[in-house]
A and B are shown apart, each in its own frame.
Chain A
Amino acid sequence: AQKITQTQPGMFVQEKEAVTLDCTYDTSDPSYGLFWYKQPSSGEMIFLIYQGSYDQQNATEGRYSLNFQKARKSANLVISASQLGDSAMYFCAMRGSTSYGKLTFGQGTILTVHP
């Protein structure tokens, strides 16, 4: 079984500041991937960043980076230089090598960026 935990229901950040959204996971799969998605109020799910369990380096995509600590089973999303358009719901998700491609999601964190 796989489990994703996001312990921050809501986060606030000032525009242009950096923010970290927490994600911890649990799985028995030997190989897995971790994903972060952004969901604006319109409802669409926007893929942000991916980290494979065997990747040696932390993933980065523009202003997004993933702080992957395998031993601690955490995969925190760091957004640098926050923008007003970053205000949204953020989901952490994982997929194991034995799970038929299913994604397991966390509860989500609502991020609000203040001007």
Chain B
Amino acid sequence: DVKVTQSSRYLVKRTGEKVFLECVQDMDHENMFWYRQDPGLGLRLIYFSYDVKMKEKGDIPEGYSVSREKKERFSLILESASTNQTSMYLCASSQWGIVGNTIYFGEGSWLTVV
């Protein structure tokens, strides 16, 4: 079975802390994504990567950065966490190629910034 694993399910961090959210996939997928989910707004794309060391901004990249040093791992970094970054974060991966390729999601990380 395809597996996308997010390192932390629930986190509570203080304002100003540096936060790392880790995501690992085991299917050798080229594409990896970080989304943020908020009520009434659906899922919004923060960053994505289509290859090792390659990254592209999504719709809401401000306040975030990412790292992809290995194909299977895609990290989301909050350089200085703020309360408006309290949210649920979802990592996803898919194969490069046709539009019908399934996108697989991790279980989500619930981040609270206090």
Q: Which residues of A contact B (CB under 8 A)?
A: 4, 6, 9, 31-33, 35, 37, 42-45, 47, 50, 52-53, 91, 93, 95-97, 100-108
Contacts and interface: CB of A to CB of B under 8 A. Distances in A.
A31 B99 contact: yes
A50 B100 contact: yes
Interface of B: 31, 33, 35, 40-45, 48, 50, 56, 58, 88, 90, 92, 94, 96-97, 99-105, 107-108, 110
A102 B42 contact: no
A75 to B, nearest CB: 13
Nearest to A110: B39
Contacts of B58: 102
A107 B50 CA distance: 25
B103 A44 contact: no
Contacts of B94: 101
Nearest to B40: A107
Please name the 5 residue pairs, one residue from A and one from B, whose CB atoms are nearest each other, closest first.
A33-B99, A45-B105, A43-B108, A105-B43, A105-B42
23 contacts: A6-B42, A32-B99, A37-B105, A42-B107, A43-B107, A43-B108, A43-B110, A44-B108, A45-B90, A47-B102, A47-B104, A91-B42, A100-B31, A100-B48, A100-B50, A101-B31, A101-B97, A101-B101, A101-B103, A103-B33, A103-B45, A105-B43, A107-B41
B42 A43 contact: no
B23 to A, nearest CB: 14
Contact of A108 (B42, B100, B104): B42
A9 B110 CA distance: 22
Contact of B43 (A33, A52, A53, A91): A91
